[in-house]
Structure 1
Amino acid sequence: MKYFGVLLFILLSTSINAQDFSDLDKSPMDVAHIRNNDNSPMARIIYSRPQKREREIFGELVPYNTVWRTGANEATELTLYNDMMIEDYYICAGTYTLYTIPNKNKWTLIINEATNTWGTNYNPDLDIAKIPTIPKQAAAPIETFSIALQPINQGALLLIGWDNIYIEILMKNISSE
């Protein structure tokens, strides 16, 4: 009987604590990944996904002409498992941080050698690429900030979207040529 009482206490205290979801992260972490044709990894992006929640995003919550961590919480992390051409830039396999500078008519995607950074703890001396791109109008509003890697011939399109805007960046796998 003594063991039953101890077991009942453990079960009740565990179930009470396990049901407390009130302090969950408002911008949960997610991952986008893509594999090569031989099923080996090509690229992975780890990022946090803030919600629009009826807020004005670009130009307000995310100011124009300012370096943005490209998500929430920790800065967005890009791992390349192969050497890649990202637009016109040769990028060696490795782990990097992705930043963006949004603007109404032009965005800049920044690939930076810093890793494990919080927010916009940004050092421009560690930039290895600054890639200009034109933002596009999304077909429908994007409530949750999203990143995707869409497979294309020998590479991927990196898609970054939120609110009514998205950008796409061409990533070509050098190793598969």
Structure 2
Amino acid sequence: MKKIFIAALGIIFLMGIPQLKAQERDTTSPNFPKMDASPMDLIIYRDSNNDVIARVLYSRPRKRNRVVFGKLVPYGQVWRTGANEATELTLYKDMKVGDAVVEAGTYTLYSIPKEKEWTIILNQKTHTWGAYEYTDEEDIVRITVPVRESSTNIENLSMTFESASDDSGTNLLIGWDDKYVKVPFKNIN
């Protein structure tokens, strides 16, 4: 009986050792958060000399079988042009947007989507969540750009820069679902 008791105690002890080792690993590992449902992304525009001209920092919500424009993103309302924190645009040199000269600096990029056109807004107030703190008193420039049809479905809100066809600057493309817009940024000579 004594041998059975000692054997059982040994088995229990041996079974507990892997658990102790696993617990040791867990307590030394950092507690990283799960990936955000709308992960943050960054795009950069470089000129022909490889100098950074502009960058956009934004979060990329997913479509997930939802109606995006007119429902998830209501028409006619100021939108943060992404998810989470409002989208930020940094210009590293003065650029012309519409008829306005925009000085190098960081701005919040808001938009007001409509069915056939968007109003694009560059605003002075930065580091904001959503569009809750938006006020047009801080606007630097507003321009209207036409909505274009995408030939493919864009699952996540996406942005990219393309060189202007006449080498006069760049276009910021903003696309989601089956729509996109081009926002022109012109070089100042």
Fold in common (TM above 0.5): yes
Hey, what's the Cα distance between the residues in 1 that align with 2:57 and 2:71?
24
RMSD of equivalent CA atoms? 2.0
Query: Equivalent residues in 2 for 1:11-22 (5 A)?
Result: 11-14=25-28, 17=31
Hey, what's the Cα distance between the residues in 1 that align with 2:116 and 2:61?
23
Q: Deviations over 1:17-75 (max 9, x none)?
A: 56xx7x32100000011112222210000000000000000000000000000000000
How many residue pairs get matched?
167
Rg (Cα) greater in structure: 2
1:168 match? 182
2:73 match? 62
Q: Deviations over 1:52-105 (max 9, x none)?
A: 000000000000000000000000000000000123221110000000000001
Hey, what's the Cα distance between the residues in 1 that align with 2:99 and 2:178?
27
Hey, what's the Cα distance between the residues in 2 that align with 1:16 and 1:131?
46
Amino acid at match of 1:132: T
Unaligned runs of 5+ in 1: 1-5
Hey, what's the Cα distance between the residues in 1 that align with 2:105 and 2:50?
18
TM-score relative to the length of structure 1? 0.87
The percentage of counterpart residues that share the same residue type is: 47
- 3-state SS, counterpart of residue 161 of structure 1: strand
Match of 1:110 among 113, 117, 121: 121
Amino acid at match of 1:38: N
Runs of 4+ in structure 1 off by over 4 angstroms are: 6-10, 14-18
Hey, what's the Cα distance between the residues in 2 that align with 1:12 and 1:93?
47
Larger RCO of the pair (alpha carbons < 8 Å, separation 6+):
1
Unaligned runs of 5+ in 2: 1-19
The structure carrying a bigger helix percent of its residues is 2
Q: Does 1:156 align with 2:183?
A: no
Q: 1:8 to 1:56 in 2, by over 3 A?
A: closer
- 3-state SS, counterpart of residue 11 of structure 1: helix
Hey, what's the Cα distance between the residues in 1 that align with 2:106 and 2:173?
18
